[in-house]
Chains A and B, each alone.
Chain A
């Protein structure tokens, strides 16, 4: 009796709106804190006061003020890019998991990562041959990211087309086609890796570990729209994705156009992952595990799950990049190593706790 009374009192005390949204508020605060921390720390030590002054003076001040230069030209584009990539990868992961009705799905399953990787390898190994004469710094700066983006989208289109042969997109077929195409691109990548020389091999290795070290404003402006599109539009699909959890048939009885929903999610996720791979190389873990952790905490309701994943993914990548920049400064650790090294044990711990409480049957 008393317990029931307590619960009733609690839910009356906290308004239902507040109790529904407080995790999102908490995650927003976490993100704001992460952004401030990431802006104020780096290889060059600046006091909080110097950071505020430099920010206040604006980007034009970087012409005469070295602190403004560091903040506006090096840290700000990088920190914002980390937040956007983290948010887009996590929210794409959550949505793709809903479409596949499989918590182990990650955005890479629709072929976008493997296609982007293949395109990048082609550019690294064959670029100097294909564009002999033009292959200078400019080409390396822009051709590689562009190729990765286009390659990711093309592969996703191929996977999607294979899965939609009968007019309707079948999830099982999508999954299998994704695996098959990933195997094929992996094989072609293997051939090119074999052909690569020493320098190119090392380039490939570092590209595959991911890094935000080269983010500049032009790169930020080129990729941010695609990332924003996924981060803002995917959470709006929450009702359809919730219905999809009950199965495609039930969802269509509930008035959800499952075909359009699947297509929309795949297109948005492919754009987001393609753009993030183009900007920062391969960053694993975020798209798979952040939505999973949020689901363990908040439950499967996508109205909360999608924005929570975006906020948590953004915070995680901003903090991981901060660690990448500062752990062994003035050198840097590739960020993919950090996300995997810190995130995976945490994830395993969560899974074990859940198993103990026998949440999984």
Chain B
């Protein structure tokens, strides 16, 4: 086993890639660096597009839904359930993804086959998004462009952030007949609420947890954001706890579905501005 567990089949894979174009030979393969990228994360895909490097993308994952032209690319599936042969069939130099990608054994298979696998650490915040943009830029040798993009995102976000001074907000996932799951800290939803200047009413636990009706009443959120409700909030407005909150009584129940509020990519400022405007119109 060990004699072929560690080897470098890169030249061989390249050979396959270039079987059609014989003009590109040895000289080209030593220069060619990360020209073919499979990207498995929606925010990373958007960053590559924003840097104008979309021509390098050979495949995307199911979370890469923006821009629309990304969904025309070959889809390698869900980023936690990748397939080695499927990705190899796109002959990538680089698999660009986050710490969420898996299964670990498949990532190892890809490394063994000579594909560079980069799992970037994602921190859902403005600083985290900027760091992600810079990391991608360094990886694909576009540090200058990425620095510009990061500064642009930072300015845009800072211009619109923090306008809802300390407004008590609640973010819930609709879990069907199993009720509602409220967002605590360490979630994208929490980060978004902080960015618009709101105060997450359930900041005393982390992750998503089922909430008791009484705790919701006590928290008295002024704004409720709902995800996974398929846009239909009329049923939720009659929920025993939600219906009695200031948010429901003053009509500040918003659906977070079909919006890219939680992507934390180059369009972060748009998300913050859109949500802020929506809420301010009803205040």
A residues apposed to B, CB below 8 Å: 42-45, 59-60, 62-67, 69-70, 72-75, 137, 140-141, 194, 197-199, 202-203, 206, 211, 213-219, 325, 328-332, 334
- Chain A residue at minimum C-beta to C-beta distance from B77: A331
How many Å lie between the Cα of A65 and that of B11 in the bound state? 9
Residue B29 lies at the interface, judged by CB distance under 8 Å to chain A: no
The list of the 7 closest CB pairs from A to B, nearest first, reads A331-B77, A214-B105, A330-B86, A332-B83, A43-B89, A43-B86, A44-B89
Q: Contact check: which of A140, A219, A329 meets B89 at CB < 8 Å?
A: A329
The reply to whether A206 and B7 contact each other, CB–CB distance below 8 Å, is: no
**Hey, which chain A residues are within 8 Å of B208, CB to CB?**
198
Residue B27 lies at the interface, judged by CB distance under 8 Å to chain A: no
Residue B80 lies at the interface, judged by CB distance under 8 Å to chain A: yes
Residue B211 lies at the interface, judged by CB distance under 8 Å to chain A: no
Residue B59 lies at the interface, judged by CB distance under 8 Å to chain A: yes
Residue B144 lies at the interface, judged by CB distance under 8 Å to chain A: no
State the total of A-B contacts with C-beta under 8 angstroms: 127
The reply to whether B1 and A218 contact each other, CB–CB distance below 8 Å, is: yes
**Hey, which chain B residues are within 8 Å of A67, CB to CB?**
16
Residue B3 lies at the interface, judged by CB distance under 8 Å to chain A: yes
Smallest CB–CB gap between A152 and chain B, Å? 19
The reply to whether B9 and A64 contact each other, CB–CB distance below 8 Å, is: yes
How many Å lie between the Cα of A137 and that of B13 in the bound state? 25
Residue B36 lies at the interface, judged by CB distance under 8 Å to chain A: no
Residue B53 lies at the interface, judged by CB distance under 8 Å to chain A: no
The reply to whether B84 and A74 contact each other, CB–CB distance below 8 Å, is: yes
How many Å lie between the Cα of A141 and that of B103 in the bound state? 9
Smallest CB–CB gap between B1 and chain A, Å? 6
Given A214-B106, A219-B105, also A197-B207 (CB < 8 A): yes
How many Å lie between the Cα of A290 and that of B80 in the bound state? 30
How many Å lie between the Cα of A126 and that of B87 in the bound state? 31
How many Å lie between the Cα of A65 and that of B83 in the bound state? 20
The reply to whether B81 and A199 contact each other, CB–CB distance below 8 Å, is: no
The reply to whether B105 and A330 contact each other, CB–CB distance below 8 Å, is: no
Q: A43-B85, A74-B88, A330-B76 given. 9 additional CB < 8 A pairs?
A: A43-B88, A66-B12, A69-B12, A70-B85, A199-B100, A206-B81, A329-B85, A332-B83, A334-B81
Q: Contact check: which of A42, A44, A73, A198 meets B109 at CB < 8 Å?
A: A73
The reply to whether A63 and B104 contact each other, CB–CB distance below 8 Å, is: no
The reply to whether B187 and A198 contact each other, CB–CB distance below 8 Å, is: yes
**Hey, which chain B residues are within 8 Å of A213, CB to CB?**
81-84, 103, 105-106
18 CB-based A-B contacts, threshold 8 Å = A43-B85, A44-B85, A60-B4, A62-B7, A63-B8, A63-B9, A64-B11, A70-B88, A211-B81, A214-B104, A216-B108, A218-B1, A219-B105, A329-B83, A329-B85, A330-B77, A331-B75, A331-B83
Kindly supply a per-residue 1/0 record for chain B positions 99-115, scoring 1 wherever the CB is within 8 Å of any chain A CB and 0 otherwise. 01011111111001100
**Hey, which chain B residues are within 8 Å of A45, CB to CB?**
89
Q: Contact check: which of A42, A194, A217, A330 meets B75 at CB < 8 Å?
A: A330
Residue B56 lies at the interface, judged by CB distance under 8 Å to chain A: no
**Hey, which chain A residues are within 8 Å of B141, CB to CB?**
none
How many Å lie between the Cα of A202 and that of B9 in the bound state? 33
**Hey, which chain B residues are within 8 Å of A194, CB to CB?**
209
**Hey, which chain B residues are within 8 Å of A60, CB to CB?**
3-4
**Hey, which chain A residues are within 8 Å of B232, CB to CB?**
none
How many Å lie between the Cα of A70 and that of B100 in the bound state? 25
Residue B230 lies at the interface, judged by CB distance under 8 Å to chain A: no
- Chain B residue at minimum C-beta to C-beta distance from A219: B105
The reply to whether B207 and A332 contact each other, CB–CB distance below 8 Å, is: no
**Hey, which chain B residues are within 8 Å of A199, CB to CB?**
100
**Hey, which chain A residues are within 8 Å of B267, CB to CB?**
none
How many Å lie between the Cα of A198 and that of B104 in the bound state? 18
Smallest CB–CB gap between A70 and chain B, Å? 6
